[in-house]
Amino acid sequence: MPILRHLLLRAAVRAATDPAVRRHARRIYESELKPRLGAALAEAREAARDNDPRTDPAGFAKALFGRLRGLR
């Protein structure tokens, strides 16, 4: 197992320092992940307005997961 872990760690370090991989990751983040995260944050804020997570955590979680399912 230590050999596999070492190989995976080394591959991750090489990928993280490769400029082409970093450019591609940045492009994916900006074009796909950032808009989804923004929409999810807006939905979480809206769910928090409807159900206070401090007083009704179960209701908040139910509302949040219901809203997030609609984003897919």
Rounded Cα distance, 63 and 72, in Å: 15
Task: Give me the residue spans of the domains in the chain.
Answer: 2-69
Rounded to an integer, the average pLDDT of 29-49 is: 91
Phi then psi for residue 53, to 5 deg, are -65, -20
pLDDT at 43: 87
pLDDT at 71: 65
Residue 70 banded pLDDT, cuts 50, 70, 90: confident
pTM above 0.85, yes or no: no
